[in-house]
Structure formats: C-alpha cells, structure tokens
Amino acid sequence: MAHFAKIENGIVTEVIVANDAEWCEVNLGGTWVQTSYNTYGGVHYGPDREPDGGVALYKNYAGVGYNFDGIGYYGPQPYPSWTLNTQTYIWEPPVPRPDDGGVYEWDEATQSWVEVNP
C-alpha cells in the first residue's frame, strides 16, 4: 500500500492509502499522484530519520491544500516575503531563523525573527 494525493487544478484535495493510482482513478475518479511521507525537501528518509538513498517522490509529502506542479508538492506560502526553494520545494524566509536554541516566530511587518518567551 502507498499514499496517493488527489490533484484538482494543481491543489491537493485529499490524501489516501491505496494500492495504486489507477485504482484511485477508476474507483474514485480524478487525478491521483503518489506521495511518500518519507520524503522531505527532495530527500528520502528511513525510519531512523536519516537520509537512506531511497527514491524521493515529488520533493515532499503531500498535504491537503498543498500545491502540485508535476515536479513536486509544496505547502501554501506562509508569508508574502518568503520564497520557494526550487530545489527542495520548501518555503524560505528572507532572513534565516536564529540557530541558538531559542523559540522564534516570524514577524512579517519587520521582516525578522522574534523570540517567543517560553
């Protein structure tokens, strides 16, 4: 069994577990494309969450509301200033998130990361 995403006008509207895309199309109608929850950023990961050299299907695991352009799945744009990395299909902020162990939220108005008090 595998995961398949129903694609309508380039948007994922449903994700199910089934035998194959043909079964989905015959029995449920529409266009279905396989997706893998082991794929993130164009890399396939094993059960230990380490890259394992497996086939990375369509850049990322599909979710309802995600976009699909025939190359990969990607989520909705989180903020207007963020850009889609065309290699990983992951949205990136204009300023990298601080890597100091703190918890941060993006502030679109100031185009900066703001630390959240725990």
Element of type H or E holding 27: helix 21-28
Together in a domain, 87 and 66: no
Q: Is the pLDDT of residue 118 over 90?
A: no
Residue 41's Cβ-side half-sphere holds a number of Cα atoms within 13 Å equal to 7
What does pTM read for this prediction? 0.90
Together in a domain, 89 and 69: no
Tell me the pLDDT of the chain averaged across its residues: 97
Note the pLDDT tens digit of each residue in 66-93.
Answer: 999 999 999 999 999 999 999 999 999 9
Domain extent, residue 51, equals 1-76
First to last CA, the chain: 41
Note the pLDDT tens digit of each residue in 15-37.
Answer: 999 999 999 999 999 999 999 99
